[in-house]
Amino acid sequence: MSGLKGVFFADKLNYQGYVDQRFQDLAEQFSRLQDGRAEQGGAALAVYFQGKKVVDIYTGKKSNTEQWNAQTLSVCYSTGKGVLATLAHIMVSEGFLDYDTPVAKFWPEFGQNGKQNMTLRHILSHQSGLYDIRNVIDRAVEMADWQHMLTVMEQATPRFSVGSDIAYQALTFGWLVGGVLEKATQQTLTTLLQKYLVEPLELDGAYFGIPAFELDRVARLMTKAEPIQKNESRTEKAKVKNKTIASFSDKLIELSGQNPQDFVDAMVPKGMRDFSFFSDQGLQAIIPAANGVFTANSLAKIYAMMANKGVWDGKIFIKPEIFAELSKIQSIKRDRVMPIPMKWRLGYHRVITMGKRAKKGFGHIGYNGSGAWCDPQRELSFAYTHNFKIGSITGDYRLWGLTQEALRCADAEIKGSKGWF
C-alpha cells in the first residue's frame, strides 16, 4: 500500500510518547504519515503551546538494528540555522555585539576583499554575497576543519555588493555567523551553545559538532542492498528520464529569472561523494549550517522560548527591543538560490504551511525536510525531525501537513474552530 491510500488506511496510533488531548489529531496525522515507512526510518515531533509541552512523540527506526527512542538525536541540516541565529540574538541581547557594526571590528581579518562594511545584519538576512561554497574550497572534506573554514571566509570575496541582493548562504552561513560570535565573545561556539541555550533551557540534546560519547544516540540513514538490474535498457531509460527531469527543472528556474548556477554554487561543494554528514567525521565536525544534531524536543523548546518573545521560565534570553528587530522581514526581494519567496528575517524565514497563515511566525527548515518554527501570536512552537533519505530545500508534504495541523489544533483552542485558512 502506498501513496494517499497508504496514508488514509495507516495506523493512527503508531507512535510512543506524550500527547495533550487537544493535539490528538496532530499525533494521529504524524502516525499516518510515518506508518507505511516505519521500516525505512524514524521520526519525532514536538510541540509547545502557551508555555507547555503538548506533543512529544516518536516512531520508526533509528538505524537498521535499533528503534527510535525518546533520546534519539537527528541530523537536521539547515534547521540548525535557526538555532544558530537564536544564539546570535542572545549574544546581541547580552551586549557582545550588534546587528549594524561592521564585522571587521570584531574580526579584523574578515574585513578584506570588499567585506570591510559587512555587518551581522547582512549575514543573518542572506545579503552578504558570500553564498558560494563550490568555488572557495576544493574538496567537501575541508568543511570538517572549523578553523580552516573561518580562514576561507576571511579570504572570500562577495559575489555581489554587500546589501544589494539576496542569496541563501546554504553552507557558508554557519561559519560566517559562528565565526562572528566566537570573535566577538572570545568563546568557542560549543561553549556558547551550552552556556546560553542548552543549560538554561535544560535541553535534552543540541549540538554543532557532536561529542564522541553521544554518537550512539544519533539516528543514521537506513541502508539496504542494491537490487540487481537485469534489464540494462530500463537502466538507460531511467537515466535519460532523470536527466530530462533535471533539465526541465533547470529550465523552469531559468524561465523564472534564476540562474541554476547560483543554486549549485551555494549548495554543492566539490567532492561531496567523499564526505558524509552522517559519518562519524561529519557528525563530530562543526558545520553549523548543515550538521546540527538535535532532539525534536530541544528544537521545539528553543522555539517555545521564542514563541514567548525571548522569555522562558521567568528568564529573559532576548530583550524586547532585540526580539522586535529579529522578527522583522528584512527584504521581500527574490532570492538568487531559493525557488520560493522566503521573507527573510534575521536568520529565519516564514512558516510554510498548506493554507493556514502565521504572519508573525518564523523558523527554519532543513534540506531533509526537518523543520522547526514558532508563532508568537499563537504562543506555539513546533519541531519535526527524522532520518529518511530524502532531500528537498523547501521541505515536503509531511512537514507542511504537520505544520498545518499544529496551527489548526492551536486555533481550535484559541478561536473555537480549526479552519483550513
CATH label of the domain that carries residue 67: 3.40.710.10
Q: What would the DSSP string read from start to end of 24-84?
A: HHHHHHHHHHHHTTTTT-EEEEEEEETTEEEEEEEEEBSSSS-B--TT-BEE-BTHHHHHH
The Cα–Cα gap between 153 and 173 comes to: 10
| Domain-embedded: residue 53 | yes
Portion of the chain with pLDDT greater than 70, in percent = 90
Domain extent at residue 350 = 3-79+295-414
Question: Which strands, in side-by-side order, build the sheet including 380-386?
Answer: 16-19, 52-60, 42-49, 380-386, 371-375, 362-365
pLDDT above 60 (res 247): no
pLDDT, tens digit, 9 for 90 and up, residues 139-192 = 999 999 999 999 999 999 999 999 999 999 999 999 999 999 999 999 999 999
DSSP classification of residue 386: E
In terms of average pLDDT, the best of 158-167, 240-249, 254-263 is: 158-167
Vertex 390 angle, CA 386 and 392, to 5°: 105
64, 36 contact by CB (below 8 A): no
Backbone angles phi, psi at 25, to 5 degrees: -60, -35
pLDDT, tens digit, 9 for 90 and up, residues 341-397 = 999 999 999 999 999 999 999 999 999 999 999 999 999 999 999 999 888 877 778
Rg (CA), the chain: 21
The pLDDT of residue 392: 80
The pLDDT of residue 390: 85
Q: What type of residue is 329? A: I
The pLDDT of residue 68: 98
Task: Please give the average per-residue pLDDT across 44-72, as a whole number.
Answer: 97
Q: What would the DSSP string read from start to end of 263-318?
A: HHHHH--TTGGG--TTSHHHHHS--TTTB-EE-HHHHHHHHHHHHTTTEETTEESS
| Domain-embedded: residue 91 | no
The pLDDT of residue 258: 79
| Domain-embedded: residue 395 | yes
Q: What is the mean pLDDT of the chain?
A: 92
Taking phi over 0 as left and psi of -120 to 50 as alpha, with beta for the rest, 45 belongs to beta
The pLDDT of residue 250: 53
Q: What is the pTM of this model?
A: 0.92
The Cα–Cα gap between 371 and 302 comes to: 13
pLDDT above 90 (res 109): yes
The pLDDT of residue 210: 97
Number of domains composing the chain:
1
- The grid coordinates of residue 403 equal 505544520
User: In which band, very low, low, confident or very high, does the pLDDT at 130 lie, cut at 50, 70 and 90?
Assistant: very high
Q: Which helix (H) or strand (E) holds 240?
A: helix 232-255
| Domain-embedded: residue 35 | yes
The pLDDT of residue 231: 47
pLDDT above 80 (res 228): no
User: In which band, very low, low, confident or very high, does the pLDDT at 9 lie, cut at 50, 70 and 90?
Assistant: confident
User: In which band, very low, low, confident or very high, does the pLDDT at 53 lie, cut at 50, 70 and 90?
Assistant: very high
| Domain-embedded: residue 99 | no
The pLDDT of residue 243: 43
| Domain-embedded: residue 136 | no
pLDDT, tens digit, 9 for 90 and up, residues 272-296 = 999 999 999 999 999 999 999 999 9
The Cα–Cα gap between 93 and 88 comes to: 9
User: In which band, very low, low, confident or very high, does the pLDDT at 416 lie, cut at 50, 70 and 90?
Assistant: very high
The pLDDT of residue 205: 97
Position with higher pLDDT, 7 vs 334: 334
Position with higher pLDDT, 259 vs 137: 137
| Domain-embedded: residue 57 | yes
| Domain-embedded: residue 253 | no
pLDDT, tens digit, 9 for 90 and up, residues 70-89 = 999 999 999 999 999 999 99
Residue 339, judged by CB atoms within 10 A of its CB (0-12, 13-18, 19+), counts as middle
Three-state DSSP class for residue 383: strand
Position with higher pLDDT, 126 vs 231: 126
